[in-house]
Amino acid sequence: MLIACYFSVYVSPEKTLAVALLPFIYIGLLITNAFFAVFWIFINWKFSLISLVGMVAGVKFFGLIFPVLSLFSSSEKSGEIKIMTYNVMVFGLYDWKENNNIKSKILSLIEAESPDIVCLQEAYWNGSNRNFVTIDSVKKVIGADYNFRSAMATAVGGQNFGLATVSRYPIVNSFSHKFEGSFNGYIYTDLIIDDDTVRVYNCHLQSIQLNQNDYTVIDEMSETDDNTKIKIVLKKYLKSLVKRANQAEIIRASIDSCDYPVFVCGDFNDGPLTYTYFKIAKGLSDSYSSKGKYPGYTWENFKIKQRIDYILFDKNFDCRSHKIIKEELSDHYAVVGEFDWDK
């Protein structure tokens, strides 16, 4: 089962959903195999090798949950390039009593970190509303002159909802892609850093679109006997899983066509032990695995905690630090990474 779990991340949910839920029991399978590895030592040590081989074969999986590499590396240091990715949940716009306060706190958080590049998901902007200025305010607090934004949805009155990348480095090229039948998508910006070009992807993949009743069902799953409600929640999750698989393949194709060093940031809406993550992260490193600290979750809702926001980077960069800022201003936490560039 543990070996099957490893292979499951390479099988698209579009082809079969049979293995899609295996990663959810990874920790349980790991503990079970660790138990048997010790158990057989006292009876017939050769049998313990079966579980040990299974555990060692998945060392990459282990590192995505428990960042052991950070234990053997130097302490966190500042780097040449500082990046933040943050799902800001429209800057708290729909909290009508507190939205300006929430927006101000988000801006203060960004200003305190002072990143060179900020990738925002679920961003909101409206050029005609001077009482709720967002992206231009982000530019101001970090002293950035450049930005690229793309609306994944629009509403009356010039309201825009989508992705925005703000940069201190000049943007020489940009691209936007909205996924079919979705309010999600990705953008990339080509930046000039030290006379060379770096591409930064800002991604927001399909959400599960659970409502408050769905989260209540999950929260009470061990107590409820209502299988119908559980099936509805599971169906929603599996449907979104298939959509994210297709979206991940689209992003992967773009990354493969790029000749520049890349960063891939954003809200994947999937954990690290999934087809979505492995497809996008192929050939890239994860700032959490390199310099993070357990548990490292970036999203919390109704007692559910997951790591679904990432900063991925290729071999041209060396991660110097990784930080999660646990300020409850959105249902996501901001993720910040610092990097040196090995040209």
Model pTM score: 0.91
Query: What tens digit of pLDDT does each residue of 41-54 get?
Result: 999 989 999 999 99
Within a domain: 65? no
The confidence band for 71, taking pLDDT boundaries of 50, 70 and 90, is: confident
Which residue, 12, 27, 57, sits at the end of a domain? 57
Within a domain: 200? yes
The confidence band for 214, taking pLDDT boundaries of 50, 70 and 90, is: very low
Residue 243's closest CA among 275, 266, 273, 211? 275
pLDDT reading at 76 higher than 80: no
Same domain, 287 and 197: yes
Task: Please answer whether residues 164 and 142 qualify as being in contact, where contact means their C-beta atoms are separated by less than 8 angstroms.
Answer: no
- Torsion sign, CA atoms 60, 66, 68, 70: positive
Mean pLDDT of 131-147: 96
Within a domain: 211? yes
Q: What is the DSSP string of 59-96?
A: HHHHHHHS-GGGGGSPPP---SEEEEEEE-GGGGTT-T
Q: What is the DSSP string of 166-204?
A: EESSPEEEEEEEEPTTSS-EEEEEEEEETTEEEEEEEEE
Within a domain: 196? yes
Of residues 233 and 13, more confidently modeled: 13
The confidence band for 285, taking pLDDT boundaries of 50, 70 and 90, is: very high
Same domain, 253 and 116: yes
Same domain, 95 and 207: yes
Task: Please answer whether residues 336 and 84 qualify as being in contact, where contact means their C-beta atoms are separated by less than 8 angstroms.
Answer: yes
Task: Please answer whether residues 277 and 97 qualify as being in contact, where contact means their C-beta atoms are separated by less than 8 angstroms.
Answer: no
Same domain, 79 and 44: no
Structure tokens, 226? 């209502």
Query: What tens digit of pLDDT does each residue of 292-341 get?
Result: 999 999 998 767 889 999 999 999 999 999 999 999 999 999 999 999 99
Number of structural domains found in the chain:
2
Same domain, 51 and 79: no
Mean pLDDT of 107-125: 98
Q: What is the CATH number of the domain that holds 161?
A: 3.60.10.10
Name residue, tokens 């790029």. Answer: 258
pLDDT for the residue 174: 98
Q: Quick count: other Cβ atoms within 10 Å of Cβ 192?
A: 15
Within a domain: 282? yes
Task: Please answer whether residues 26 and 5 qualify as being in contact, where contact means their C-beta atoms are separated by less than 8 angstroms.
Answer: yes
Same domain, 251 and 207: yes
Of residues 231 and 148, more confidently modeled: 148
Same domain, 173 and 254: yes
Same domain, 37 and 170: no
Same domain, 324 and 230: yes
Same domain, 53 and 150: no
Query: What tens digit of pLDDT does each residue of 216-273 get?
Result: 444 555 555 556 666 777 787 888 899 999 999 999 999 999 999 999 999 999 999 9
Q: Say whether 215 sits in a helix, a strand or coil.
A: helix
Within a domain: 63? no
Within a domain: 64? no
> How far is Cα of residue 281 from the mean position of the Cα atoms in its chain?
11
Average pLDDT value over all residues in the chain: 90
Same domain, 115 and 178: yes
Domain that holds residue 43: 2-57
Same domain, 7 and 105: no
Within a domain: 62? no
Residue 140 to residue 129: CA distance in whole angstroms: 17
> How far is Cα of residue 30 from the mean position of the Cα atoms in its chain?
24
pLDDT for the residue 233: 72
Which residue, 13, 30, 57, sits at the end of a domain? 57
Name residue, tokens 């899983």. Answer: 241
Task: Please answer whether residues 266 and 276 qualify as being in contact, where contact means their C-beta atoms are separated by less than 8 angstroms.
Answer: no
Segment among 4-18, 62-76, 182-196, 274-288 with least mean pLDDT: 62-76
